[in-house]
Amino acid sequence: MSKAKKTVVWEDREVLFDLPFNYLRLRLGEKVFDRIEPIEDTKAIGLNCFISTSTKVVNSGLRGATQALNVLAGYSNNRYEFVFTNLAPNCVRHYTSVVGVHKAYAASRMYRDLKLRGPFIQNKQLRVLPLEKLCLVEHGLWNLSSESGNLGTMVVSNVRIVWYADVNDAFNVSMPYITIESITIRNSKFGDALVIVIRAACGGYVLGFRADPLDRLVPLLKELQTLHQAYTEKPVLGVEMNWGSEVAKPWQDELEDLEEIGEPRGEMGPSLYLASQQSHNKDDMDVQPVYSSYLGLAIEPLKQGFTLKSLFEVQTST
């Protein structure tokens, strides 16, 4: 793996194919929330690339008509459509897990995205994130983005560096460590300044800050570099999931022994029921019809635990 790939978090922002195994290993800070097998298609798709997710009934070569997860993704001016089919009968965890994790990812962007003039300062107080811990507050720092500079306050946490103007706290910037390429002291037309360089993939900004007196810069630089290094070694990406009391069962190698995990048996539509019934009765060709008083017709016997009413109720509610 290239050095650039090791140091920069790229996994959530790219769609890549045919990767070597070492690219698929979990990086520091990454977590596995669910493992779903067997799935007919396998790809690596960064959550930041998701455009939309949905389900649709497709024809599987192994399972027949079954519900599949459809993911529309975009990367590098291209759009991709992925279809993932879960071969476990009646199981929809391949959809609920992916959608749940993506929602958690989207709701935690403040941990990973640079924000300018955002609503994260309220009454000159930082709105602290759930996994965030404040480490340092430095008053009297000048932001050198304008000709005259703006006097403000820098708030430093274990996740990010935040600066806001004292006169108007809506003039602010939030810089997660994951977006920062380097923190140094450079000479500027204002004299020595603390310079924070943002990675090109995150905007490529160069932000300068000046302190009075100047001897405050070196201790501040060391503190920020230490926190940045600590974050790099143990990132806090902010994506958290609570699965409650759901317990996953191990997947069996034999297709016929596959069991549904955590899904109610009686709540699926007619098309999924039909595919499951066909698979269940594929070796029994002499099934005798029975009379249904609900329909007034002769029908194939229903599997145990199902009723026609429950099947049609699910159909009309979707």
pLDDT digits (tens, 9 = 90+) for 220-277: 999 999 999 999 989 999 988 776 534 333 333 333 333 333 333 334 444 444 444 5
Q: Does residue 68 form part of some domain? A: yes
Q: What is the pLDDT of residues 117-155, one digit of tens each?
A: 999 999 999 999 999 999 999 999 999 987 778 999 999
Number of domains the chain contains: 3
Q: Which domain holds residue 281?
A: 264-318
- Residue 141 class from Cβ within 10 Å (0-12 exposed, 13-18 middle, 19+ buried)? buried
User: What is the rounded (10 degree) CA torsion for 115, 119, 124, 125?
Assistant: -90
The amino acid present at 208, given as its one-letter code, is G
Last residue of a domain, one of 233, 253, 285: 233
Instruction: State the pTM of this model.
Output: 0.65
Last residue of a domain, one of 58, 84, 108: 108
Q: Does residue 242 contact residue 200 with C-beta atoms inside 8 Å?
A: no
Q: Does residue 257 form part of some domain? A: no
Q: Are residues 104 and 132 in the same domain?
A: no
Strand spans (E) along the chain = 15-16, 44-45, 50-60, 64-75, 78-85, 115-116, 121-122, 125-126, 134-143, 150-157, 160-165, 172-176, 180-188, 191-198, 206-211, 290-292, 297-299
Q: What is the pLDDT of residues 198-209, one digit of tens each?
A: 998 889 999 999
